[in-house]
Amino acid sequence: MVLSSDQKVINRGLEQVSEMSVSGTQKLYAGAILQVVKVGSTELLKPATDGAGVVPAGVCIEQEDNSTGISGDLTARFFKAGSEVALATTGSLTYGLPAYILSDGVVGIAGEATNNIKLGVALEKHETEAGLIWVRIDPV
């Protein structure tokens, strides 16, 4: 599921927050899984895909709409490695194993992902939000 609106951003425990410039002509929704792209020597954020060579950044905290701007016009804050966030899943994740990026809105298992881009580790089902699991962001 590619996001088309903001998602509820739920985190717990230690918050590891960073910020980075947004790539041009991109709209980052709150709750979106983000990737880093390099333009020359500049690192920029855009919505994550299950694409070859994707470098995960984390999960967007607030919407940043740079859809009519150029790279660097806006800066987005995001939860980075070490943070625990609740994300949508296909439902087939095994707790303690990697959570792979399927789109900017969903994580799944390796067999569901084409490129097996690891966002982090699946921890447990969210206590009250159906369809969400806790993921510790750890792309390495």
Question: Model confidence at 55, in pLDDT bands (50, 70, 90)?
Answer: very high
The Cα–Cα gap between 140 and 53 comes to 13
pLDDT at 96: 94
List pLDDT tens digits, range 42-51.
Answer: 999 999 999 9
pLDDT at 14: 78
Question: Model confidence at 78, in pLDDT bands (50, 70, 90)?
Answer: very high
List pLDDT tens digits, range 7-18.
Answer: 999 999 878 999
pTM of the model: 0.95
